[in-house]
Structure 1
Amino acid sequence: MLSYFETLKLDKKEMVMQAGNLCNYNYFVVKGCLHMYFTTEKGTERTVQFALEGWWLTDFLAFQNHSSTDFNIQAAEKSQVLSISREQQELLLEEFPMLERYFRTIYQIAYGASLIKVKYLYDLSKEEIYLHFTEHFPDFAQRVPQYLIASFLGLTPEYVSEIRAKNRS
C-alpha cells in the first residue's frame, strides 16, 4: 500500500497546501502535527482543524471535487506525513476495496467532530470553551502552541493568556 503514497518530511511552519491552489492531496500524519487554517480579510489566521499522528487532513470537499481550496495546511511542528493524490487514492481503493469503509469512517468522525465544535461555539462561553478544550485534551493543549489553540477556538492569544493567569491564581 505504501507505493501509493509519497513520504514528506516537513519542518515547522512548512506549507503543504495553499489557499487558491487545487487540492490534489490527502495527508496522513505519521509523526508531528499539521494545522489547517484560512486567513480572514483582516489578515487574521483562523485554524479550523488539527491533525496529529494517525489522523488525516485535507480540504475534503475540494479534494473530492478536484477544485481549489480556501485553506492552507502547515506543519505546527517538525512532521512526517504520507501524501496521496486523488488519482492514487482512487487506484488504492480499487485495489483494496475494504479501505472504502475505513475512509467512510474517517469522514464520519471528522464530520461529527465538526458538529461538536459548532455546538460548543454556540453553547459555551469563550472561557468555558478554552477550559473544556484543555480539560479534555490536556496532552494536545501542552503540545500545540497557545496561539494556534486560541485561533482554533476563536479566541485571541491575549485572552487565552488572561484565562490561564486567572486559573493559576
Structure 2
Amino acid sequence: MSTQLFSHINTYVSINNEDFEGISSFFEFQNVSKKKTLMEAGTSCAYNYFVLQGCLHMYYTNEKGMERTVQFAIDNWWMTDCLAYLKRTRTDFNIQASEDTKLLSISFEKQEQLLKAFPQLERYFRIMYQIGYGASIMKMKYLFDFSKEEIYLHFTEHYPDFAQRVPQYLIASFLGLTPEYVSEIRAKKRS
C-alpha cells in the first residue's frame, strides 16, 4: 500500500510492518483527476481521505452562490467533514481535487473496525483531530486580529507549500478575500 501512510502514522504512534499490512487492508486507493468532486453537499459523508500526492479543497456555496473554501489537504493531510462523518449524516460541504490527486479513503464503518483491531490508532486519529481543531482556532484568531493584507501575508509566509500549489482564487476564498484583492497584494509585494 503506502509507505507514506506508514511513515505518517509512525510519526505519532509506533506500528510495525506486520501491523501495517493489516492496517492497509482497511483503505482503498483512489486516483482522482483535477476538478473531480469526491463529496457533494446534501449527500452522506461516507469517507475520510488521506492525501498521498495532490491537493483537495473543501468548500460550501453560500446564499449568494459564492464558493467559500474552508479547508485544504495536501500530501500527508487528512480531509473529511468531521461532524457529518462521525454522525453519518448529510454534509453541507463539497470536497474537490484541486490538482490530480492520489489518495487513500476509509469509510466510517471500516475506520471503526480498524480502531478495534489496532487500538493504538485511536491515539493517532485523536492527534490528527487535535491538530485540525487547533489549526481552525488559529485561523479564527487571524481572521479576528489581522488586517486582510496581514492575513494573506501570514498565510503565504507560514504555509508556503499551500501558497505555491493552491490556485490564488482558492486561497482568496479560504481567507475571505477577493481574487482581485489578492492580486493587488501580490503586485504590491513584488514592487
Aligned ranges 1:138-149 → 2 under 5 Å: 138-149=160-171
User: Hey, what does 2:150 align to over in structure 1?
Assistant: 128
Other structure's SS at 2:151 match? helix
CA distance in 2, matches of 1:141, 1:97: 36
Query: How much does 1:33 deviate?
Result: 0.6
Q: Does 1:152 align with 2:178?
A: no
Q: CA deviation at 1:55?
A: 0.8
In 2: Cα distance, 1:132 partner to 1:148 partner: 16
Q: What secondary structure does 2:25 align onto?
A: helix
Q: How does 1:20-59 map to 2 (within 5 A)?
A: 20-59=42-81
The Cα shift of 1:136 comes to: 1.1
Partner in structure 1 of residue 140 of structure 2: 118
Q: Which amino acid aligns with 1:131?
A: L
Does 2:105 correspond to 1:83? yes
Q: Which amino acid aligns with 1:51?
A: A
Any runs of at least 4 consecutive aligned residues in structure 1 with deviations exceeding 2 A, and if so which? Answer: none
Provide the rounded CA distance (Å) in 1 between the counterparts of 2:32 and 2:161.
22
Distance in 1 separating the partners of 2:46 and 2:161: 31
Measured on the aligned residues, the alpha-carbon RMSD in Å equals: 0.7
Q: What is aligned with 2:24?
A: 2
CA distance in 2, matches of 1:139, 1:62: 28
Using the size of structure 1 for normalisation, the TM-score is 0.98
The aligned amino acid for 1:60 is C
Identity %: 69
> In the alignment, residue 55 of structure 1 is paired with which amino acid?
W
Q: Which residue matches 2:86?
A: 64
- 2:45 partner letter: C
Distance 2:159 2:138 in 1: 14
User: Equivalents in 2 of 1:137, 1:88: separation in Å?
Assistant: 32
Aligned length: 169
- Unpaired segments of 5 or more residues in structure 2? 1-22
- 1:12 corresponds to 2:34: yes
Letter of the 2:182 counterpart: V
Give the alignment partner of residue 118 of structure 2, picking from 58, 71, 96: 96
Q: Kindly state the Cα deviation for residue 59 of structure 1 after the two structures are TM-superposed.
A: 0.2
